[in-house]
Amino acid sequence: MNVEKVKALQALKTSKGQIEGIMKMMEDGRYCVDISNQIIAAQALLKKANLLILKQHMHHCVMEAVKLDNGDEKIDEIIELLSKIMNK
């Protein structure tokens, strides 16, 4: 597993722990603003993991496809994905 995937997996595991903590906070009736701040932190980790996965994809899958002269499909996939990210 390459560096980006290892870092992405760690970010996902950390966000999983945060989400479990957020659920506990809600069950315990904690202050809503504190819960919201934890949700924002978990979202940031998910965004970081997504960026790392996309970086790995660009450096490996897309570059390989471009070298083999069939990168158009991979580039279109990235553009479609970026469109989804930007429309949020």
The tens digit of pLDDT for each residue in 33-85 reads 999 999 999 999 999 999 999 999 999 889 888 888 888 888 999 999 999 98
Residue spans per domain, the chain: 3-86
Q: Are the CB atoms for 5 and 53 separated by under 8 Å? A: yes
Residue 88 clears pLDDT 70, i.e. is over it: no
Q: Could you identify the residue written with the tokens 């069950």?
A: 27
CA distances from 73 to 27, 53, 68, 80, 86 (A): 46, 18, 12, 11, 20
- CATH topology (fold) of 3-86: Methane Monooxygenase Hydroxylase; Chain G, domain 1 (1.20.58)
- Give the C-alpha separation, 42 to 36, whole Å: 10
